[in-house]
Amino acid sequence: MIIVGAKMGIFDIVYAEIKDLLSKQEKKKEMKKEINHLIKKTLKRFIIDWDQFIASQPVNFYEETTMLYSDYREAFVELYVEFEDTIDESTKEKLMKITDLLQKGKNTIPAMGMGAYNERKKYGDESVLIAKNIIENIGDSND
């Protein structure tokens, strides 16, 4: 305990610094939990939106997948950029893989028929699998 007006010794100074560092470390852990929660929430929303989208069998599949792919790609890039220094390497790699798949899906040439539908749909399906993997494993690494 530091008494006001008393001269602080080296122990008091070091102890105060240690307490400060431990407090910052706890805040960092709490922030990481909140960031991981936000990432999981965004991924779960993507999965739900994708599943509902596919189940609805949209008439304008090409246009609507373009919008869906663009919106979520932008969200995942923003998460990556904003929290790059906080999230673990595995999550960063998987988020980038999802953004790559969504960009490829968005860039597929519009065409008629089931082949074109399946080609475009596979990028969303693969992204969902990666999203589920991130949700299961986020925060488990020692990064």
Per-domain residue ranges of the chain:
32-137
Class of the 32-137 domain?
mainly alpha
- Range with the lowest mean pLDDT among 20-24, 71-75, 96-100, 122-126? 20-24
Higher-confidence residue of 100 and 61: namely 100
- Range with the lowest mean pLDDT among 107-111, 126-130, 138-142? 138-142
**3-state secondary structure string across the chain:** CCCCCCCCCHHHHHHHHHHHHHHHHHHHHHHHHHHHHHHHHHHHHHHHHHHHHHHCCCCCHHHHHHHHHHHHHHHHHHHHHHHCCCCCHHHHHHHHHHHHHHHHHHHCCCCCCHHHHHHHHHHHHHHHHHHHHHHHHCCCCCC
pLDDT digits (tens, 9 = 90+) for 12-70: 777 788 888 778 888 888 889 999 999 999 999 999 999 999 999 888 888 889 999 99
pTM value is 0.81
